[in-house]
A and B are shown apart, each in its own frame.
Chain A
């Protein structure tokens, strides 16, 4: 996933705002990148553009080799369902569906409706440690558990990129750490990259890369503790 010199102008007339002013950012498989910045810095706008929900005013975005330039909303939706998983700050689970159905929904919108789809959804829930909660409804789950269901929904279709918007913001420290552990495990696969938009300094240890954004511009990029740790490991160590 790659954004090149992306400019995004929001609003019209006197209310026009340049939310992004030439941002370039890439997300590779196997990395967990943090996008950090103050409110109004353009984090969410960038996430929306990378997530193919908004089109850039200028610049290009490529997702798994596909440019989003000139795509229709339906084509953008197809890119999302083929390559991107989302985790939202407020989970956005369907309150009337069980955890299993919530996860399976991500396969259903892709046209996967066989029994295998249910098995895949159950496996995704097991991956996030909720094998015993498949039949629970969101109202019966804690915040941390709900976020795990949302992560299971994001990974169930083998998305190449997981975009998470403040995934720990609504959680206590313990649950936040736990959710980041799950996301870090997901990012361990070289086929999958995770980009987390956050304000939360407690999750810095999980990052392989930290990107700072301010006033619509990338102002810095540094290696995260996770990358440093991996580099320090003696060769051969898993």
Chain B
């Protein structure tokens, strides 16, 4: 092992109690940041989950639609306009609406009804764990997620309820199709969704546009923009970004998550800085000796930076372990903490940066040190 690393490591580990305090500080900070950013990523994904699972090259949405969960009815005439555009092979209407689910025991709960023709590609339930997707064609059939059984007063297939005084029977059960708003999704056919939503037959909430093979999606979108009157065409990416922007930044939810993450970084930086500063102060005689025997400033800074990096790596490894446990523990919750490889790398770089920035206070202390102090101590 290079001597400079050995020196840094032994300086760091020499006072075990202080070292443990440093690591606890880093772990606390990084776990907090992990949870906040994990929730941020998870939230960002969940608000676009319906958009990502729909079969569409383009979405036609009522003008000014801010997110998927803010439906407003659109006239069927827009579908005719869309179909007249060169390169458009289909414009599949879907209905999205809030409704009241009345349970067999008489209680009610709000639900989010999504209707799409099951015979053509549109927006259908996925992760089906009981029943078959075709069963949605059965009269009164609906699909619900098993995580909402309790909320909906259902035990599974065959249970019945009412939506807008119309019968609804569970024929399909999914797993993990959850809403971040905690309002259960109810999938059904297009016509039945209109009935449940009280929407006229000539209305739809969105149109899922299918573009001809080889056609340029952006060109088609541009042409659609010219013919649509009270609607606009968006790529799934654009609609997703708009939904994310609304929920993350328009509502303040993102700011709260970022604020928590920032707090974690600040706490971690302060704790590591305090420890490195105290450790450097404790070892100031040794640093002065190094300086006296001719070491360059860079050599001493390197020792301090290595201490910071060692703290970062050890702290990150422990924090990552705890983070994984949290990810697993929240996987089935309404808003799971999500972890991606990119986020893991980001967190590692953040930890390293935090620790290196923390070393500045210690370095400043060493810069001000007078090597001649070795003669008087």
Stretch at the interface among A103-111, A175-183, A222-230: A103-111
Which chain A residues (35-85) contact chain B, with CB distance < 8 Å?
A: 44, 47-48, 51, 53-54, 73-74, 77-82, 84-85
**Contact present for A96 and B295 (CB under 8 Å):** no
From 287 to 308 in chain B, residues with beta carbon under 8 angstroms from any chain A beta carbon are 288-297, 299
Provide the bound-state CA to CA distance between A79 and B289, in Å: 15
For window 259-309 of B, CB contacts with A under 8 Å fall at: 285-286, 288-297, 299
Can you list, as one digit per residue, whether each of B342-377 has a CB less than 8 Å from chain A (1) or not (0)? 000000000000000000000000000011101111
The closest CB in chain B to the CB of A79 belongs to B294
- Does any Cβ of A come within 8 Å of B4's Cβ? yes
Of A51, A77, A79, the residue contacting B295 (CB under 8 A) is A77
Q: Does B6 contact A (CB under 8 A)?
A: yes
**A88 with B296, Cβ < 8 A, contacts A101-B3, A108-B4 known:** no
Which residues of chain B are near A80, meaning CB under 8 Å? 292-294
Are A105's CB and B7's CB within 8 A? yes
Contact check, A96 vs B11: say whether CB atoms are below 8 A apart.
yes
Which of B288, B293, B376 touches A105 (beta carbons < 8 Å)? Answer: B293
Given A48-B372, A81-B293, A109-B299, does the pair A92, B3 have CB atoms closer than 8 Å? no
A-side contacts of B291, CB under 8 Å: 77
A-B contact count (CB 8 A): 84
Whether A77 touches B10, Cβ cut-off 8 Å, given contacts A44-B375, A90-B377, is no
Quote the shortest CB–CB distance from A89 to chain B (angstroms).
Answer: 8
Query: Is B3 touching A94 in the complex (CB atoms < 8 A)?
Result: no
Given A81-B293, A86-B293, A105-B3 contact (CB < 8 Å):
yes
Contact B294 A88 (CB under 8 A): no
Q: Would B286 and A44 count as touching, CB distance under 8 A? A: no
Q: Are B374 and A97 in contact (CB under 8 A)?
A: no
Q: Is the CB of A81 within 8 A of B7?
A: no
In contact, A77 and B285 (Cβ under 8 angstroms): no
Contacts of B374 in A (CB 8 A): 86, 88, 92
Interface centre among B3, B290, B299, B370 (most CB of A within 10 A): B3
A92 touches B285 (CB 8 A): yes
**Cα distance, A47 to B296, chains bound together (Å):** 20
Supposing A53-B371, A101-B3 touch, asked if A84 and B294 sit within 8 A by C-beta, the answer is: yes
A113 close to chain B: CB less than 8 A: yes
0/1 per residue, B171-214, Cβ < 8 Å to A?
00000000000000000000000000000000000000000000
Contact assessment for B294 and A109 in the assembled complex, using a CB-CB cutoff below 8 Å = yes
Cα A229 to Cα B292 in complex, Å, equals 34
Taking the nearest CB of chain A, how far is it from the CB of B371, in angstroms?
A: 5
Interface contact B293-A47, CB-CB below 8 Å: no
Residue of A nearest to B294 (CB): A81
B341 close to chain A: CB less than 8 A:
no
Flag whether A165 is at the interface (Cβ < 8 A).
Answer: yes
B81 interfacial contact with A, CB 8 Å: no
Closest to A85 in B: B293
With a cutoff of 8 Å between Cβ atoms, the chain A residues found around residue B106 in the complex are none
Q: Do the beta carbons of B372 and A54 come within 8 Å of each other?
A: yes
| Complex contact A105–B294 (CB within 8 A) | no
Chain A residues with CB under 8 Å of B14's CB are 95-96
Residues of B within 8 A of A (CB): 2-4, 6-7, 10-11, 14, 285-286, 288-297, 299, 370-372, 374-377
Known: A44-B376, A105-B3. 19 other contacts (CB 8 A): A53-B370, A53-B372, A73-B297, A74-B296, A74-B297, A77-B294, A77-B296, A81-B294, A86-B293, A92-B285, A92-B377, A95-B14, A96-B14, A101-B6, A105-B290, A105-B293, A106-B293, A110-B294, A113-B2
* 9 A–B contacts, CB within 8 A, in A order: A48-B372, A51-B372, A74-B297, A77-B371, A88-B289, A92-B285, A96-B14, A109-B293, A109-B295
